[in-house]
Structure 1
């Protein structure tokens, strides 16, 4: 582990609880998207960004920037979504090399169907279990963690998902 100090038993427990909570919350939200509109959470992110965009269209690089993904990942997802009729590509008038990605009527219906269930799931699984002061504390904590991560979480950065499978390696006494 190099020069990094190991985690205490309490820190391992906190990290494990956070890790499991985050994964289960992500999965519950993903299932809600599938049930409501037969789209994935990733597809929802793209559709939501397009639905909010001026003229409901964006360039691929702008979608990538908006949702924090690598452009090639966006391109692959957009191609699959285009085949399903959720998106369309069309020429960019100002850049012959580029194209716009726009949301179709089917894509708009899918994202609008997903929004209500998504908000209900976020309320049920997240905010309904927080005490009023915990939301503000969580907001502050999230900001500090995001600041500490900085650009290390960019799509091109090396991966370490933090899976606590080997808890003994994390503990200070292990």
Structure 2
């Protein structure tokens, strides 16, 4: 079996970029699988926790479903089903958006806030053991800076003539250069 270490180093910038992406992707998949396997809550799933994590970072712990789709790696229908499950458990509530009656605002309930805090503390411990147990302080700082730089860097679009930019949250906006 050939491993990455057995391969000759990339000789072009393009090959290096592809190899770096492959390495980043494989690390992310491996770590996510491990963190999911040891997720500390029997009350909510990893994806439901992600909804709560994102709500906890919003003003008043509430956001439109449309805004949540910008932060989660799930489709809007999947997010709607997650929100419905969380609402049935009393962890979030679904409200009509006062600014647009067609929109739904998802708000974390006090029960949801308590569950989020309890789960977040234990989940952060697992992250610290896995990531912090592998990298030292300077490497963690460098990793954070590099990932931020990648997230905020130029994005690509489906067509070559669109100018694509990412905002501070990584959402992609497209504007034609005329």
TM > 0.5: yes
Q: Which position in structure 2 is the counterpart of 1:4?
A: none
Q: Does 1:22 align with 2:38?
A: no
Q: Which position in structure 2 is the counterpart of 1:168?
A: none
Distance 2:143 2:132 in 1: 11
Preserved CA contact (<8 Å) 1:43 1:77: yes
Residue from 125, 132, 139 that aligns with 2:130? 125
User: Any unmatched runs of 5+ in structure 2?
Assistant: 1-6, 11-17, 158-169, 172-178
Higher fraction of helix: 1
Q: Which runs of 4+ in 1 moved over 4 A?
A: 8-20
Q: CA deviation at 1:124?
A: 0.6
Residue from 106, 128, 134 that aligns with 2:139? 134
User: Any unmatched runs of 5+ in structure 1?
Assistant: 1-7, 156-174
Seen in structure 2, the aligned counterparts of structure 1 residues 86 and 149 have a Cα distance that, compared at 3 Å, is: farther
Distance 2:61 2:149 in 1: 33
Q: SS in structure 1 opposite 2:28? A: helix
Q: CA deviation at 1:17?
A: 5.9
Q: Does 1:146 align with 2:151?
A: yes
Seen in structure 2, the aligned counterparts of structure 1 residues 49 and 16 have a Cα distance that, compared at 3 Å, is: closer
1:93-152 CA-partner distances (Å, limit 9, x unpaired): 232222221112332222111111121111110022213332233234324543567256
Distance 1:66 1:46 in 2: 9
Seen in structure 2, the aligned counterparts of structure 1 residues 132 and 99 have a Cα distance that, compared at 3 Å, is: closer
Seen in structure 2, the aligned counterparts of structure 1 residues 14 and 83 have a Cα distance that, compared at 3 Å, is: same
Residue from 64, 78, 81 that aligns with 1:76? 81
Seen in structure 2, the aligned counterparts of structure 1 residues 98 and 142 have a Cα distance that, compared at 3 Å, is: closer
Distance 1:19 1:53 in 2: 28
Q: SS in structure 2 opposite 1:95? A: coil
The alignment yields a C-alpha RMSD, in angstroms, of 3.3
Q: Which position in structure 1 is the counterpart of 2:176?
A: none
Higher fraction of strand: 2
1:12-46 CA-partner distances (Å, limit 9, x unpaired): 9877765543223112222343x335322221121
